[in-house]
Amino acid sequence: MKKLVVVAALFFSAISFAQIEFVEKTKIDVVGQVEFVYLEKVGNEAYNLFYKNINNTVNEYISFSFKNVDNDAAKLHQIIARGFEESTGSRYQIKANGEAVYFKYVREQGIVKMKIQQYVSREPDVLTESKLLTLDEVNKLFSM
């Protein structure tokens, strides 16, 4: 009888650990895309902004993520758009998931453009940069 109880206990413990659990896939939608920069929405709660690092010859995409608390995606769009109206040469800094992300504005051929800059956490001396974006391209990126 003891052997039967031990075998039954082993059988049920093995079954309970051998169960496969299905993980729901979060819906990911591309909100906007401009050449090598795109913004994606992850479910209803987060956004990821990806850009190709122009300082690297390899096709390396860098990203930063942020949660959409209190409509933060629209606030980020307003912050970036405001930089086009204010003085060029300025650099705005935001914190996204603990990482510093910079938006640098330059005037090129009479047109104000912005690029995203970010220090890579795995190599803090390496600065990644996106291509220069116009205000129209930023608006297209955030076309929610």
What would the mean pLDDT of 34-62 be, rounded to a whole number?
90
In which element (H, E) is residue 133 found? Answer: none
Separation CA 57–CA 74 (nearest Å): 32
What integer best gives the mean pLDDT of the chain? 85
Strands (E) located in 37-142: 37-42, 46-52, 61-67, 91-96, 99-108, 111-120, 123-129
Mean pLDDT (whole number) for 95-105 = 89
What CATH number is given for 26-141 in this structure?
Answer: 2.30.31
| Residue 16 in this model has a pLDDT that exceeds 60 | no
Q: Per-domain residue ranges for the chain?
A: 26-141
SS3 54: coil
**138's tokens:** 């930023």
Residues of the chain with pLDDT > 90, as a percent, come to 43
Whether the CB-CB separation of 110 and 134 falls below 8 Å is answered with: no
65, 48 in Cβ contact below 8 A? yes
* Beta-carbon count within 10 A of 109 CB: 5
pLDDT at 18: 52
What pLDDT shows up at residue 53? 92
- Tell me, yes or no, if the pTM score tops 0.85: no
